[in-house]
Structure 1
Amino acid sequence: MLKALFESSRTTKRLISLAYDTLAITFALYISICLRLGTLDIPLTQREFGTLAITIVFTLAAFIKMGMYRAILRYMTPQALNTVFLGSCFSALTLAVGSFYTHSFIPRSVPFIYLTVSLILLGGPRLLVHHIAMLLNGTRVGNREPVVVYGAGYTGHQLRLALKATNYKVVAFVDDDLARQGSVFANIKVQSPYQLPEIIKKSNATRVLLALGNTPHSRRAQIIKRLEPLGVTVQTAPAIPDLISGRARIEHIRDVDIEDLLGRDPVKANSELLSACIANKVVMVTGSGGSIGSELCRQIIQQAPKRIVLFELNEYSLYRLESELKNIAKKKHIDVEIVPLLGSVQREHRVETIMKTFSVQTVYHAAAYKHVPLVEHNIVEGVRNNVYGTWYTAEAAIRAGVESFVLISTDKAVRPTNIMGASKRMAELVLQGLSQRQSSTRFTMVRFGNVLGSSGSVVPLFRQQIKAGGPVTVTHPEIIRYFMTIPEAAELVIQAGSMGTGGDVLVLDMGEPVKIDDLAKRMIHLSGLTVKSDIEPDGDIEVAYTGLRPGEKLYEELLIGDNVSGTDHDRIMRAEEYCLTWTETQAILDELDTACHDYSCDKVRELLMIAPTGYTTQEELGDAVWLHKSRSAPLRVVK
């Protein structure tokens, strides 16, 4: 019966609550008068009934206004009990005022007695229903998972309250702040982090929840490193800005962010550099539906451009991005025209027509094929898109009078060992050559490493493999990569684009390189699991080494030479690197075009090696079409 009541409609529950509160107010008044007079036989006249009616009507109206009947009892928090208390106080005040105006025979001390009785009758059953609901939901205290909350500030306290209606039970708080250690919150003592091993052993806690608020990533990294050897799952509560903005709720516990593992604190952006090429201008982003392109669009729209042109080949990605940007503009009251356009950067006439039609002033060229193995298997299309797509878009920008053109490059363009990296370096050479040929359009190339959460990023793959029970696949035990978050990369790209003087190669400071093998093992440890190895044969998750993929390097670099200078931004450097004249560049492009047209993948690779891209490789050609054609070609008979 109770279960059926809990599963009934919201309207039914509200009607039951209204009916109960009406009876509770009536009984509370009767009991209060009885207690005051010391007898159950009390004379009630029309005046007393009038006072009761006034009290009931005003109290229920106040409860409705305060949202008492919108609250879900099974998830009731102390804030809801505060509402009951305030409502009861208002009800007692209404009783006192009502009895005065109706001249009813109600002693002056009755409203004070009534306040206590009404609190018991109105609040008690709600608490009872709350606990019954928790028991029916299987959240009996004895069966709840014990967890430790790291952080006894505002976020930690809110997290504890939110977890009361879940299968988690907070058994201890720990905090680095000496002033908080030793204090007690809701009968839970705040202890030192150095006591964690003892706390975990005594309470059998299997999970530590980080409630660190706005703690910097560098400090978070230190805390996480301290928790790794404890053999517990480490998760985190949302940050305060996400809670305030409504993007997350306090009970939305998630795995530790990779940014916290890296310990990299973002540098405050220079607002002048961010807005220089965007504010009140027409901005176009090619490849706008990709991970970098879409984040560029999100940050560009914050700088209030006059118009933003989204140019994307993938229909769904374009639709999704347009919808998201419209919502951002609506929420933040940004007056901007959003123009979603389908197309390929290899269609020069369409690109030029778009730029001229919408009077584009700034272009961020993010359209490219970036997945190393896929480009190795699709050499001609990779070169067509990355090299010629960049060239055609740049030529269109010159003819359309675009002021600033920013190429999103990659660290794989430095001494490349794969077609993707070589094609991106060739794209850089094209823009450097065009910068010498003309001066109307300012070309800037921004080079950086891996971004977290992008398509093909290793982090979500590791999470998925860990959840599936392993193995976690790493290409090589010594492989090292630079990492940066997508928002930070996009923000630095925009600032770097404002600093270029023409033909510049700007390099983003990626921080310290990360050993992928160590990253995988840390993620396993923070999931409360152990690494299976020869030393630990009974471990939970194995790390399997699959070998370097075609064209993959052990170490990525950001600079070709040592000739580098600083800029006005701490994390942006200017690289002084060798480039060709436009005549030399065009000669290579013409030969490369012929080789692509003939589908001569061996010739394409040879030309990329001859060009000053620094491309070297010992790998066999991996283009799928070229290989199949070579193997299936009929043997020629020599006479």
Structure 2
Amino acid sequence: MQKDKTLIGWDIVFLIGSLYFALLLRFEFKVPQEYWIFLKLSIIPVVVITLLFNKFFNLYNSIWKYASVEELISIVYSVTLANVAFILYSYFVTYRFLEYQYYRFPYTMLIIFWILSVVTLGGTRFAYRLIEDNKDNVALEKQNKKLLIIGAGDAAALYIKEIKRHQNLNYDIVGLIDDDPSKKGKLINGIKVLGGRNKISDICNKKDVEEIILAIPSADLETKRDIINVCRNTNCKLKTTPGLYEIIDGKVNITKLRDVNIEDLLGREEVKLNNENINRYIKDKVILVTGGGGSIGSELCRQIAKFNPKKLLILDIYENNVYDVQMELNYKYPDMDKAVIIASIRDEKRLKSIFQKYKPDVVFHAAAHKHVPLMEANPAEAIKNNIIGTYNILKCSHDFKVKKFVQISTDKAVNPTNIMGATKRFCEIMVQAFDRISYTEYVAVRFGNVLGSNGSVIPLFKKQIAHGGPVTVTHPEINRFFMTIPEAAQLVIQAGAIAAGGEIFVLDMGKPVKIVDLAKDLITLSGYKPDVDIKIEYTGLRPGEKLYEELLMDEIALTSTEHNKIFVEKPNEIDMDFIEKSIEEFRNVSNMGRKEIFDLIERKVPTYIRKKS
């Protein structure tokens, strides 16, 4: 209501002013005396008539913060009709009420008055809108997150346009960073290139940057990692752009951004596969993946599906995970022939019926118990599932003449200090023994921890950070080898293509990573300060846990292969009689006490280093 009164007051002022200046302009500032008399008589009628028409056209009911062309048209209508009404009024006054002779306002003066009235009344309202918009923009800028974009190329240009187009994103871009000195000081869509990566910290401090977008999809991994390491020290939230192919296709928009994650820091260059070799043993073949609902097994299914198998068999005992994999593959590969089989690898009769029915050409064996502390507490289950279950799969592959068998092994099988690692080492021994007597080509592929897999430290740390900490690490010096799930699955498939039989393939895991450094990186990437916002606590090594993992037997040298990330141990001569006798002993594990189980596994796996309790 108060704003309406203020607006009426301004309208009165501007109408009187418009009338006065229209008269001055019409007579070039030399106004005859009689017109001044008529001006005085006209002021009140002009104001009253115009205000009435303004009211009729709702000019005092509109919210002028949102004024538009429609409101301007209403002003034109109101002023026009008010002028017409005033002309009629002036004739009425002249002939009815005035006894002396004088001149009415000329029509040219009324036209000038009409123009000035439209400009002043409309200008008042749109000036109000501009003032309110400016207030909103100032308030919005205060609320907006200060954003720094790394990169001054196509991706950066696309993001700047996207952010400017969508004000609701609440970003205020403070500048661009690019190592190309020729770009320094240049503008991209109005945003200035402030300098190279050496300026990131200073700019973030001076301009109170809250978020950073890494917008250089074509950069190599080492460059990205170096820039991310610089950005981590700024305490800003980091986001990264999708791959180069999406830039080329024009698919990049702000919704494609994702938070920088631990894989960006630990990952390596993309795996390059020899598709021709893989096609030869997967395309148009029946492929069985055991443990197909697990982290590695499900990714193997995704990768295998790309090579057009004749049929993909996904076997798992746990129906929930394998159902999710089935739905995903049904969506992505609706025409691919696939079957989900719920079965236990411990059930020899069930496995024989599966092999009899489907006659797989290639088996990827990923089913296993893998949690070290849990298996240390339940050693009989580790033996029944990992050893007896694997033996059943190996035997069926031999009996039904599978072309190739690929065993998923682990770095924990090397000089094992826990029951899980020891069972996996015995599986490697069985693979090499079967290869000596069978038509099937048996191989094992050994690699370390997989980022983000079920039971790995990454999901655990993320949950602990989400709950405010503390993040628990067993020992300040403990380290592990890491690779991503897709990388591990791709290299497993590639190793299968290289295999001639009997090999233990060792994947290049890069350098080992300290778990405490991993925890600190995750805390930082989550926007917190390690040991300030989120505490790190050391809980002590768990039963059977090593400080350091090894990827190969110390006494055996590795040989390179045609793939630069896959190495091979030369086959050992393993006697099949030893395997058969051992399996008979392992079958009685349910009747053994805990000490007897550990004694047995110690006899069967010579490299097992048993920790005395």
Q: TM-score, normalised by structure 1?
A: 0.72
Please give the secondary structure, in 1, of the residue aligned with 2:169: coil
Gaps of at least 5 residues in structure 2 are 1-68, 78-83, 85-125
The offset of 1:217, in angstroms, is 1.9
Map 1:220-619; keep pairs closer than 5 Å: 220-241=224-245, 250-330=254-334, 335-438=335-438, 440-532=439-531, 539-560=532-553, 561-576=555-570, 578-594=572-588, 596-619=589-612
CA distance 1:589–1:352, shift in 2 (3 Å): same
Instruction: Indicate if the aligned counterparts of 2:352 and 2:396 stay in contact, CA closer than 8 A.
Output: yes
Where 1:230 maps in the other structure, the secondary structure is coil
What's the CA shift for 1:340? 0.9
Deviations 1:417-462 (A, max 9, x none): 1111001111111121111222x11111000001111001222322
Deviation of the 1:550 alpha carbon: 1.0
1:187 offset after TM fit, Å?
2.5
Letter in 2 for 1:250: I
Alpha-carbon offset, residue 614 of structure 1: 1.0
CA distance in 2, matches of 1:223, 1:592: 53
**CA offset digits 1:32-61 (Å, max 9, x no partner):** xxxxxxxx9xxxxxxxxxxxxxxxxxxxxx
Deviation track 1:83-140 (CA, whole Å, cap 9, x = no partner) reads: xxxxxxxxxxxxxxxxxxxxxxxxxxxxxxxxxxxxxxxxxx9xx99x98x969x982
* Bigger mean CA deviation after superposition, 227-236 or 375-384: 227-236
Q: Percent identity?
A: 39
Cα RMSD between the aligned structures? Answer: 3.3
CA positional deviation for 1:293: 0.4
For residues 175-203 of structure 1, the C-alpha deviation after alignment (integer angstroms, 9 at most, x for no partner) is 22333322112322112222223312221
Say if 1:249 and 1:459 are closer, same or farther in 2 by CA, change over 3 A: farther
Q: Distance in 2 between matches of 1:254 and 1:619?
A: 47
2:384 aligns to what SS in structure 1?
A: helix
For 1:207, which of 206, 211, 214 is the aligned residue? 211
Q: What is the Cα deviation at residue 210 of structure 1?
A: 1.4
Count of residue pairs brought into register by the alignment = 494
* Greater alpha carbon shift after TM alignment, 369-378 vs 241-250: 241-250
Query: Match of 1:71?
Result: none
**Do 2:413 and 2:422's aligned partners in 1 also have CA atoms closer than 8 Å?**
yes
Deviations 1:263-289 (A, max 9, x none): 511231111232222101110100000
Which structure has the bigger radius of gyration?
2
Cα deviation digits, residues 296-330 of structure 1 (max 9, x gap): 00010100011101111111112111111111114
SS at match of 1:498: helix
Question: Any idea what SS the aligned residue of 1:391 has?
Answer: helix
SS of match in other structure, 2:333: helix
Aligned AA for 1:576?
Answer: K
2:201·2:233 contact (CA, 8 Å) conserved in 1? Answer: no
SS at match of 2:458: helix
Distance 1:242 1:459, change over 3 A: farther
Cα displacement (A) at 1:396: 1.0
Q: CA deviation at 1:252?
A: 4.4
Whole-Å Cα distance in 2 between the matches of residues 244 and 384 of structure 1? 52
Sort the Cα spacing of 1:222 and 1:370 in 2 relative to 1 into closer, same or farther, 3 A. Answer: same
Structure 1 position 176 matched with structure 2 position 179: yes
The one-letter code matched in structure 1 to 2:604 is A
Distance 1:397 1:296 in 2: 19
2:580 counterpart SS class: helix
- The worse-fitting range, judged by mean Cα deviation, of 473-482 and 211-220 is 211-220
Equivalent pair of 1:551/1:619 in contact (CA under 8 Å): no
**SS at 1:319 equivalent:** helix
- Tell me the SS of whatever aligns to 2:542: coil
Distance 2:258 2:223 in 1: 19
Q: CA deviation at 1:577?
A: 5.5
Gaps of 5+ in 1: 1-22, 32-39, 41-124, 533-538, 621-639
**Counterpart-to-counterpart distance in 1, 2:454 and 2:493:** 21
What's the secondary structure of 1:380's corresponding residue?
A: helix
- Amino acid in the other structure paired with 1:568: E
Contact 1:139–1:166 (8 Å) recurs in 2: no
Q: For 1:185, which of 180, 183, 188 is the aligned residue?
A: 188
Deviation at 1:582, TM superposition (A): 0.4
Distance, in Å, in 1 between the alignment partners of 2:571 and 2:140 is 67
